[in-house]
């Protein structure tokens, strides 16, 4: 009887030990699972932010394809008619047309300096069409800046950027 | 060794084995997301805009100044062909691309973009011939990139721009 009691309590000890081992294993896998989930969630957040940024960049690019900026001489989606953009700069009616706080075209290569005016165009650095006070989170996209080079009578394209910011991006 | 000690050693061995297995799975999961080079909108817009750039290399006569895409095609068809001013087209192309990429990409050791790689390859079927290739900065692995095809002869020239991180 005594042996039976001793064996039984030994058996209970073994079962308890097994239970603790199982709990430890479950806890271990749960911690590993939480770690993996947090890694995947942070990469999802990154992906969502990247997608939002890309959408804003595409909006910047799409403005370049509107009739106000599009280059009609040949089929070029990334081309902006710089002459048209310069004329738009003077038109007050277009200041609120796109619901943007910033709309600027900048020359990257070859570099130019200063804001374009009637006296220095096209040897200048940027054309600001819209610039309001509250500008935040501006996005930019590369574009080709094309115009007619009257001195040598040919169409010339340079590398530039279009910068936009504002509610029109949402 | 006492029984209790034996059991603890056994428990520790089980934990170590499970940790190793979990690390191996984690390694596979993270590696597969690194291998793919994401298509970057910025890289694509820069590549498309670059190809439209009008260089100072006139092909045949003035003022037939060639665009980058046209010079790549000329360079592929005849690597010895020259601009009207006597420069070899492939060299003029190389110089224009280097200057343009240097001005348009802010890269460096302490920046998110450590370097870039640009290449153009003529592909016809399974054959592939390099037309031009240039790189700058540290390029251990591409972070993002874009491709753009230029039709040429019976095949096409695939231009590729990669930003390295």
> Domain locations in chain A?
59-169
β-strand pairing of B142-152 with B127-137: unpaired
Q: What CATH number is given to the structural domain containing B59? A: 3.30.1140
Which residues fall within 8 angstroms of residue B159, CB to CB, at 6 or more apart? B47, B51, B72, B118, B119, B120, B147, B148, B149, B150
Condensed to tens digits (0 to 9), the pLDDT of residues B53-67 reads 999 999 999 899 999
3-state per-residue secondary structure call for chain A: CHHHHHHHHHHHHHHHHHHHHHHHHHHHHHHHHHHHHHHHHHHHHHHHHHHHHHHHHHHHHHHCCCCCCECCCCCCCCEEEHHHHHHHHHCHHHCCCCCCCEEEEEEEECCCCCECCCCCCCCCCEEEEEECCCCCCCEEEEEEEEEEECCCCEEEEEEEEEEEECHHHC
| pLDDT of res. A159 | 96
The number of angstroms, rounded, from the C-alpha of A29 to the middle of its chain's C-alpha atoms is 37
Other residues' Cβ atoms within 10 Å of the Cβ of residue A167: 9
> What does the block give as tokens for B69?
């895409």
pTM here is: 0.76
User: What proportion of chain B, given as a percentage, has pLDDT over 70?
Assistant: 91
Beta-ladder partners of B136 = B116
Of the pLDDT bands very low, low, confident and very high (cuts 50, 70, 90), residue B34 is very low
- Asked if residue A125 has pLDDT above 90, the reply is yes
**Cα separation of B71 and B68, whole Å?**
5
B4 found inside a domain:
no
Residues from chain B that touch A79, judged by Cβ atoms under 8 A, are 52
β-strand pairing of A154-165 with A102-109: antiparallel
B85 found inside a domain:
yes
Nearest to B129 by CA among B155, B95, B94: B155
Question: For residue B72, is it left (φ>0), alpha (ψ between -120 and 50) or beta?
Answer: alpha
Of the pLDDT bands very low, low, confident and very high (cuts 50, 70, 90), residue A65 is confident
Q: From the CA of B150, how many Å to the nearest CA of chain A?
A: 13
Of the pLDDT bands very low, low, confident and very high (cuts 50, 70, 90), residue B35 is very low
Task: Judge contact between B90 and B132, C-beta under 8 A.
Answer: yes
User: What proportion of chain A, given as a percentage, has pLDDT over 70?
Assistant: 93
> What is the mean pLDDT of the segment spanning A85-110?
87
Q: B15 — contact with chain A (CB < 8 Å)?
A: yes
CB contact under 8 A, A143 and B14: no
B32 found inside a domain:
no
Condensed to tens digits (0 to 9), the pLDDT of residues A16-39 reads 888 888 888 788 888 878 888 887
> What is the mean pLDDT of the segment spanning A77-102?
86
CB contact under 8 A, B48 and A111: no
| pLDDT of res. B144 | 86
More confident call, A62 vs B28: A62
Chain A residues touching chain B at CB-CB below 8 Å = 17, 21, 24-25, 28-29, 32, 36, 43, 54, 57-58, 61, 76-79, 108-109, 111, 141-144, 146, 149, 152-160
CA angle A79, A63, B119 (to 5 degrees): 40
- Asked if residue A136 has pLDDT above 80, the reply is no
- The total domain count for chain B is 1
Query: Which residue intervals of chain B are DSSP H helices?
Result: 3-35, 41-51, 68-77, 89-104
> What is the mean pLDDT of the segment spanning B1-25?
79
Q: Which structural domain, as residue segments, surrounds residue B119? A: 37-164
Condensed to tens digits (0 to 9), the pLDDT of residues A98-117 reads 888 899 999 999 999 999 99
For B154, the 3-state DSSP assignment is coil
- Asked if residue A2 has pLDDT above 90, the reply is no
DSSP-derived letter for residue B40 is: P
Nearest to B160 by CA among B100, B119, B122: B119
CB contact under 8 A, A109 and B62: no
**Cα separation of B79 and B91, whole Å?**
9
| pLDDT of res. A61 | 78
ipTM: 0.76
- Asked if residue A56 has pLDDT above 80, the reply is no
- Asked if residue B71 has pLDDT above 80, the reply is yes
More confident call, A169 vs B75: B75
Residues from chain A that touch B22, judged by Cβ atoms under 8 A, are 32
> What does the block give as tokens for A60?
């910047």
Task: Judge contact between B164 and B111, C-beta under 8 A.
Answer: no
B153 found inside a domain:
yes
> What is the mean pLDDT of the segment spanning A79-92?
90
Condensed to tens digits (0 to 9), the pLDDT of residues B112-154 reads 888 899 999 999 988 899 999 999 888 876 678 999 999 988 8
CA distances from A35 to A24, A31, A47 (A): 17, 6, 19
**Cα separation of B59 and A130, whole Å?**
39
């Amino acid at each position: 009887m005594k042996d039976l009691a001793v064996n039984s309590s030994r058996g209970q000890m073994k079962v308890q030990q097994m239970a603790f081992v199982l709990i430890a294993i479950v806890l271990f896998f749960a911690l590993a699972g939480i770690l993996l989930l947090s890694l995947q969630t942070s990469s999802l957040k990154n992906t969502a932010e990247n997608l939002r940024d890309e959408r804003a960049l595409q909006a910047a690019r799409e403005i370049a394809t509107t009739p106000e900026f599009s280059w009609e001489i040949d089929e070029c989606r990334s081309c902006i008619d710089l002459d048209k953009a310069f004329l738009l700069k003077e038109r007050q009616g277009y200041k609120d047309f796109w619901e943007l706080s910033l709309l600027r075209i900048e020359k990257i290569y070859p570099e130019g300096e200063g804001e374009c005016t009637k006296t220095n165009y096209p040897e200048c650095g940027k054309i600001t069409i819209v610039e309001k006070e509250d500008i935040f989170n501006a996005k930019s996209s590369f574009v080709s800046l094309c115009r007619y080079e009257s001195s040598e009578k040919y169409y010339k394209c340079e590398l530039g950027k279009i910068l936009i910011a504002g509610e029109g991006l949402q | 060794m006492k029984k209790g000690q034996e059991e603890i050693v056994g428990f520790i061995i089980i934990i170590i084995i499970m940790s190793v297995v979990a690390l191996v799975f984690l390694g596979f999961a993270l590696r597969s997301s690194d291998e793919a080079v994401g298509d970057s909108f910025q890289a694509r817009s820069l590549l498309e805009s670059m190809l439209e750039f009008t260089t100072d290399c006139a092909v045949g006569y003035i003022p037939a100044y060639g665009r980058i895409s046209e010079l790549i095609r000329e360079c592929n068809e005849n690597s010895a062909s020259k601009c009207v001013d006597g420069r070899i087209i492939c060299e003029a192309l190389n110089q224009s691309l280097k200057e343009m990429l240097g001005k348009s990409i802010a890269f460096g050791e302490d920046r998110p973009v450590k370097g870039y790689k640009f290449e153009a390859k003529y592909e016809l079927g399974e054959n592939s011939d390099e037309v031009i290739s240039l790189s700058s900065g540290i390029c251990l692995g591409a972070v993002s990139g874009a491709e753009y095809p230029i039709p040429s002869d019976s095949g096409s020239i695939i231009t590729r721009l990669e930003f390295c991180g």
